[in-house]
């Protein structure tokens, strides 16, 4: 008896072609879409968007700290190398010939810092000032 029950459940019921649901014409769905009008209501200017204003303080602070790190970290590496080369030049060792390399690297790093920091500050610090806090 269990086999008969399992067998009848396992077999899918097949519909004859006369029992299948009729296919709706495509014109009915396009008529429905044409009758609906879609409009967007509200923009960022009209919505009442309130925030704490904390990002106006944090964003400039993070940008300034990042720019400071962009300048300081390479100089922390390059200045001791330059100092060691100057000391080696005084003792007439071969490492003294690398002074030009460290000076060139410092000049390139400072130039790249000015270029990158100026762009980052223009992007982030001017955007923070564009949004006036309205009360």
Domain limits of the chain? 55-128
In a 13 Å sphere around the CA of 100, the CA atoms on its Cβ side amount to 1
Query: What interhelical angle do 55-90 and 99-130 show, nearest 10?
Result: 170
Q: How far is CA 17 from CA 23, 25, 33, 93, in A?
A: 12, 18, 30, 98
In a 13 Å sphere around the CA of 93, the CA atoms on its Cβ side amount to 7
Tokens 């100092």 locate to 83
The per-residue pLDDT for range 75-100, each reduced to its tens digit, is 999 999 999 888 888 887 766 678 89
Query: Helices marked H in 1-135 — which ranges?
Result: 2-10, 26-35, 55-90, 99-130
The per-residue pLDDT for range 115-131, each reduced to its tens digit, is 999 999 888 887 555 55
Q: Give residue 90's pLDDT.
A: 82
């Amino acid at each position: 008896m269990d086999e008969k029950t399992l067998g009848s459940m396992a077999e899918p019921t097949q519909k004859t072609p006369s029992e299948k649901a009729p296919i709706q014409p495509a014109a009915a769905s396009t008529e429905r879409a044409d009758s609906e009008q879609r409009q967007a209501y509200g923009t960022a200017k009209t919505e009442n968007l309130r925030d704490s204003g904390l990002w106006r303080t944090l964003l400039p602070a993070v940008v300034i700290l990042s720019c400071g790190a962009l300048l300081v970290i390479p100089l922390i590496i390059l200045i001791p190398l330059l100092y060691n080369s100057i000391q080696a030049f005084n003792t007439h060792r071969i490492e003294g010939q690398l002074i030009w390399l460290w000076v060139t690297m410092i000049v390139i790093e400072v130039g790249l810092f000015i270029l990158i920091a100026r762009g980052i500050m223009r992007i982030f610090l001017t955007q923070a000032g564009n949004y006036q806090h309205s009360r």
